[in-house]
Structure 1
Amino acid sequence: MSYEFDFADVFAAWPELLQGLLNTLVLSALAMAIGMVVSVAGALGKTSGPKWLRWFIDEYIELIRNTPFLIQIFMIYFGLPSLGIKLSSNEAALIALVVNVGAYGIEIIRAGIESIQKGQVEAGKSLGMRPLQIFRYIVLKPAIQAVYPSLTSQFILLMLNSSVCSAIAASELTAVAGDIQSRTFRSFEVYFVVTCIYLGLSLFFWSAFAGIERTLLRKPTR
């Protein structure tokens, strides 16, 4: 084996990698936040909405869960301009991530909502709680507590899936790595460093989600 490892060119490009890292963080965090809103709204619509809305949500979930994420990105970035909707690569990446994670998040939160016993809802009504209070305190919070590990795992996958957005030249970490590799021809070194960065990002988000669980979703002790 005559290949000599040399990370000098990769480390020299650390400002670009740092910018790509920050862009990935922002893209992932925004997609998680908006995706959470879509998931909660979709789960509520699927469990208690009118028939036509439940049908629409079911079709949306099936469409997204049974098509490749890369194709979804291409449809948004290359397909929508045919309808007169032009988006930048970063905007298309964000929308694609939200649409994708929303489909999975709806099913996860729906399972949590359906795990809540109806007697608890009836108890809330008997105490004079308003419907919004019942949904927020009796239904939504316990439901998220029940499915929190699955939901956070899906958000971690979302962050890792953001690397696919490099296919439309979104300015995230993998796209930056591709630019550095094409300039330095140090494929192993570049992608080894990027692999370590993604691992660090995963650990960061796991820690952040664990902190959220401890501070906001901690179950009361008896």
Structure 2
Amino acid sequence: MAYTFDFSFIGSFSAEIWSGIRLTIWLTLLTILPGFALGTACAVARMNGPRWLRWIVTGYIEGIRNTPLVIQVFWLFFGLAVLGARIGPFPAAVIALVINTGAYSAEIMRAGFQSIPKGELEAGECLALSRWQMFWSIQLPQAAERVYPALISQFILMMLATSIMSQISVEELTGVGYQIQSITFRGFDVYVVIALVYLALATGLRLLLHFVARGSFPRLRRLGTPL
């Protein structure tokens, strides 16, 4: 059976598509830094915190990493509403993405912290650096540098996961695709375009994070290490 592609809908729905792209980018930008900060804090707590805190952090990480993101956002959006704590679609999407990204980033950063040679920490102690000085000057930069490729992949996966937020009426790119195909009945054509846009967004985010790494980690710039 022959199939004829028809992408004429792009012109008619260009405003909606651009709106979906902007919202997808906005969700991504609002999630990356808070998710990374939460993950880093959890990694430190899991390694150096008191036992009760380690148990709480471990429960959070395992709970989030072993349940679907769509269930987590449903619990925030629908579940809390049943309890009387109503959250709007967009805040619920941001919170769910930050919590999810934080759990995965925690394990990535924990691996980075554990890869730092003990000799460097002992050298910091010999220089009479405080615990916070050692963390900011030695541990955090080196850990982030060592696991940066994994962080890039995680942030791209997080950007792609914004597509799930259409399930709670957040009109990001996939949500816009649902609307267009329900009007045009050109589902295959619509999702080809949506997939290509996601591919372009993922490539753009990878390049952006690549340049951030070159500016933030001078050693990578000197060595020309690929990311």
Identical columns (%): 43
Counterpart of 2:111 in structure 1 is: 111
* Larger mean Cα displacement after TM superposition, 211-220 or 138-147: 211-220
State the distance in 2 between where 1:11 and 1:193 align.
12
State the distance in 1 between where 2:145 and 2:160 align.
24
State the distance in 1 between where 2:135 and 2:90 align.
34
Shift of 1:173: 0.6
**5+ residue gaps in structure 1?**
none
State the distance in 1 between where 2:152 and 2:45 align.
22
Counterpart of 2:120 in structure 1 is: 120
- Equivalent residues in 2 for 1:70-81 (5 A)? 70-81=70-81
Structure 2: which amino acid aligns with 1:160? L
State the distance in 2 between where 1:174 and 1:33 align.
23
State the distance in 2 between where 1:91 and 1:165 align.
11
- Equivalent residues in 2 for 1:54-93 (5 A)? 54-93=54-93
Shift of 1:119: 2.1
Structure 1: which amino acid aligns with 2:172? E
TM-score (norm. length: structure 1): 0.96
Shift of 1:3: 3.6
State the distance in 2 between where 1:2 and 1:213 align.
48
State the distance in 2 between where 1:198 and 1:68 align.
21
Deviations 1:142-187 (A, max 9, x none): 0111111111101110011110111111121100111111111111
State the distance in 2 between where 1:84 and 1:124 align.
50
State the distance in 2 between where 1:196 and 1:118 align.
46
1:67 aligned counterpart, secondary structure: coil
Structure 2: which amino acid aligns with 1:44? V
State the distance in 2 between where 1:95 and 1:39 align.
14
Counterpart of 1:16 in structure 2 is: 16
Shift of 1:218: 2.7
Counterpart of 2:135 in structure 1 is: 135
State the distance in 2 between where 1:44 and 1:83 align.
33
TM-score (norm. length: structure 2): 0.94
1:219 aligned counterpart, secondary structure: helix
Preserved contact between residue 10 and residue 180 of structure 1 (Cα < 8 Å): no
State the distance in 1 between where 2:11 and 2:114 align.
50
Question: 4+ runs of 1 displaced by more than 4 Å?
Answer: none
Counterpart of 1:147 in structure 2 is: 147
Shift of 1:8: 1.0
- The alignment's C-alpha RMSD in Å is 1.4
